[in-house]
Structure 1
């Protein structure tokens, strides 16, 4: 039975627990055994919650007593190690914070627990969540379950690797440029970055630049993402950016009373160069949506060709992150990993360039507002390539060499603008690796991309595919 549990989604596990077909203890034990078996090779999990089994026994007693159960009652979940968990280590991927034990849960963790979820473990990340791969001096490198020689991405690579490997059904992650959607794409799971402020960042670190940081769920099914979103969204009275009640949305899965109109974009344009497998997968998704009754057409977004959103983001966040990181690392300079050191080594942005970058960010928002006057959503790549080698400094795509930072070119625009964006697998590379597409909707219209994702999920050629881990 335990072998059948690890790849059930959270929604199904909750149903099985409610109907007493499986107990919370069995579910938690199955995932703990999976962690014991696979984590030494993958290194996605950095801390297992000591009281997970105790919480599972309490959840089982509640089921047997006929108590009212939450939508995730008895279901284990994981959380990125930058998200505070009361009584469970939260060390931010740095020896500087080794042994750090928060007193309170982050808002997102508290909301998952209120829904009946059981905190199972914390997941690996790059130091301070600031890189496109998952590696640090404290807990080391995470590996991609599809190929251990490849990265699961960053900064939420531990989350994505754990879910892909069946060590967790659902996880809480964070995103400032790529960190939910990129890792989800590279490991073949689903990740949602909701509208900025939709899900409170309270209890998540770093706090700067908070106008670009997002926290969001990762899972294996669209319905799990929709469920988590419905539980996590809404103001908490502490995060000043979190001010939009969920009721403003038409409802999870709801759509306008007319055919949806989707523009799709690959190449040429801002996202180029794009690997042929990625471009073909986006086009296949466009055709699939068309077959589902959606109006789909090739689109252009002029503002993306005029402004480099990644350059804008880097100029703004590096200047704001530096002071916070210097304060956090003061007196511990010998414990700084190379990627945070890279932030320190980045030349300061002049005040003129900083102001220009802020204005460019506003222009990007205007450009997307204009785009969404015509379209309900955008379909585009997530990453320009499938999973790549650890520590890659450059990619050669269609004969063109580009920096590894190019991996963020199709995700950064939606972090700068705060638009909701979802990553999901819809294809396979020539090397047998997951290839994903990205769905983007107007601000506060998460229901639109959740609906479109559910349409793609039904016809997905890669649905229910998992990495072969039998040799581990």
Structure 2
């Protein structure tokens, strides 16, 4: 029997309770509003509440009582990162430059959640322009990690991760350029999915450059919620040219072979240094899968050693994103621009020669993963090389090595450069009681496979009942 309080129920449970008339959408929304009012002063995850949510909850209740056909998320509140457009609800992108901006339409991902019956609860915090691994900006301030307020919940979807972990929202949408749905999930102990590039349209989301690296994806409390959200969110919309793959209607039940899975695990080389505590969590997840009867072995991917993906990514994305930042900030005053935009604008230009070499390296890395997935079904890695860390930290000593903050993306950015799908989920706890997540990676369009493996680990790990001490 599920004894979790309403604010810690996953979205699937809430939808079932609403469908069975055991709880009202109005009651769910009221509970979350009370939770938000209580915790916002300390966490600062929510930046805007929708003025339309109460009316939509009342309408959702009437639909239940009248016996109408209900969507899979009917009556369930959801939140959205504030870089994703929401009809008639502020979308300010973490910057005074966009203060007061109200879109006249929903992003495709938001519209699909609404069409599935979801109720937009509000918008969550992010870094300026959705760019950095700390969710802090001049407009709405800094978000704190509910596990320890002195720590960051990450970025750029840190407001979303903090909101879900703290029980302010059961499910939401984040975006991911290099780490941004998976890293924040790891820092707060929730789950998230970065699907195959193009599986979920980016229509109505800013920034879009470099387009082939950006993703939008669900963040939640359970793997079944990720699976349900992916089935709702995926598919072409006729507007995003990268979103061209039309999956079969029952694709989440497909492509799971009736045999032991071939699973490789690694924490390097090729990802940068990793804290031993995190490395041991990955190994523990590998052992759990082996005990379930799968073929599990430690592996290496030579392509990741030949071309360090983080350097490849930096050479490509700086050249493209810097110009977007320059255009956005042109003519604006200094006090409207925060440190990350200033940092981006100060970076040296990538030469055309280096840019071409980086693009060719990206192709080699993609080929290296193709070779790996020709032999294996799944790759298991860490998400972050360390657990959650203090606000403002930009230099770290990890396994005896000094690195800057960009190295925290070492195991996540390969999936953006290649477009591969990955799930971030908790499978450990640090000595300080902080969550440690692992990353389950699959071949292109292998979301059914990685979600299946994630569900196996979810059952083996039993971390779903652990919540922040707030």
How far off its partner does 1:284 sit? 0.4
Cα distance in 1 between the residues matched to 2:456 and 2:255 = 12
Indicate the larger mover: 250-259 or 439-448.
250-259
Cα distance in 1 between the residues matched to 2:309 and 2:4 = 44
* TM-score, structure 2 normalization: 0.98
Match of 2:256? 255
Check conservation: 1:426, 1:436, Cα contact below 8 A: yes
Cα distance in 1 between the residues matched to 2:405 and 2:188 = 18
4+ runs deviating over 2 angstroms: 248-254
Q: Superposition RMSD on alpha carbons, in Å?
A: 1.4
Indicate the larger mover: 352-361 or 329-338.
329-338
**Is there any run of 5+ residues in structure 1 with no aligned partner, and where?**
none
Instruction: Look up the SS of the partner of 2:443 in the other structure.
Output: coil
State the aligned residue count: 468
Match of 1:360? 361
Instruction: Look up the SS of the partner of 2:122 in the other structure.
Output: strand
Distance 1:468 1:254, change over 3 A: farther
Distance 1:161 1:253, change over 3 A: farther
Cα distance in 1 between the residues matched to 2:431 and 2:216 = 32
Match of 2:280? 280
Instruction: Look up the SS of the partner of 1:153 in the other structure.
Output: coil
Check conservation: 1:185, 1:436, Cα contact below 8 A: yes
Q: C-alpha deviations, 1:16-68, integer Å up to 9, x for none?
A: 00000000000011111110000111011000001111100000011111111
Instruction: Look up the SS of the partner of 2:311 in the other structure.
Output: helix
Are 1:407 and 2:400 counterparts?
no
Match of 2:314? 314
Cα distance in 1 between the residues matched to 2:148 and 2:247 = 39
How far off its partner does 1:294 sit? 1.5
Check conservation: 2:92, 2:101, Cα contact below 8 A: yes
Indicate the larger mover: 404-413 or 74-83.
404-413
Match of 2:373? 372
How far off its partner does 1:393 sit? 1.5
Check conservation: 2:227, 2:252, Cα contact below 8 A: no
Q: C-alpha deviations, 1:56-89, integer Å up to 9, x for none?
A: 0000011111111000000000000000000000
Q: C-alpha deviations, 1:1-24, integer Å up to 9, x for none?
A: 998210000000000000000000
Cα distance in 2 between the residues matched to 1:159 and 1:292 = 33
How far off its partner does 1:271 sit? 2.4
Check conservation: 1:252, 1:446, Cα contact below 8 A: no
Structure 2 matches for 1:296-445, cutoff 5 A?
A: 296-334=296-334, 335-445=336-446
Match of 1:135? 136
Structure 2 matches for 1:29-48, cutoff 5 A?
A: 29-48=30-49
Q: C-alpha deviations, 1:397-435, integer Å up to 9, x for none?
A: 222221111100010111100000110000000111000
Distance 1:13 1:254, change over 3 A: farther
Q: C-alpha deviations, 1:337-373, integer Å up to 9, x for none?
A: 1011111011000000000011011111000000001
Match of 1:151? 152
